[in-house]
Amino acid sequence: MGLIRNLDERAGTVSKKPVYLRKVMLKPFGPDAEVEGVFSKIKALKAVMLLAVVENAKDPKILELAKTCAGSKIKSNVITAADLAKRNIVFDMVIEIMLLGSEI
């Protein structure tokens, strides 16, 4: 939850015009998760970006989900739990979010 709070705080202060993030789904994605089911829900919620915090960014299911999102023009951002400690990660994500369009 620290990441979400940090993103909200940065988005509200990074430019003259604050960016308000709409969080549509927070869900664990385990080995038994169905990629198509998760993607269908993401699409139905009109999300424009998927943010996945994972242990292994090369996990086949994560790669499949990212590829599926890319095919529907939903930006996917996969970062490892270890990278969360890097200071510039949140700032870089806020910049990416600012460059995205609004709902699809």
Tally of structural domains, the chain:
1
- Please tell me the pTM assigned to this model: 0.71
Locate 40 and state its tokens: 């269908």
Residues 49-89 have pLDDT tens digits of: 888 888 888 989 999 999 999 988 888 888 888 887 777 87
- Let me know if residue 104 belongs to a domain: no
**Biggest CA pair distance of the chain:** 43
In a domain, 84, yes or no: yes
Q: How does pLDDT run across 31-53, given as a tens digit for each residue?
A: 788 899 999 998 898 888 888 88
Kindly state the average pLDDT of the residues 12-21.
68
Cβ atoms of 11 and 96 closer than 8 Å: no
Measured CA to CA, the distance from residue 27 to residue 14 in angstroms comes to: 27
Q: What is the pLDDT of residue 104?
A: 45
Domain membership of residue 80 (yes or no) is: yes
Would residue 37 count as lying in a domain? yes
Confidence at residue 14, expressed as pLDDT on a 0 to 100 scale: 66
Tell me the residue range of the domain where 43 lies.
2-99
Residue 73 lies in a domain: yes
Q: What's the confidence (pLDDT) of residue 66?
A: 92
For residues 73 and 50, the answer to whether their CB atoms sit within 8 Å is no
pLDDT confidence bin for 26, thresholds 50/70/90: confident
What is the overall mean pLDDT for the chain? 79
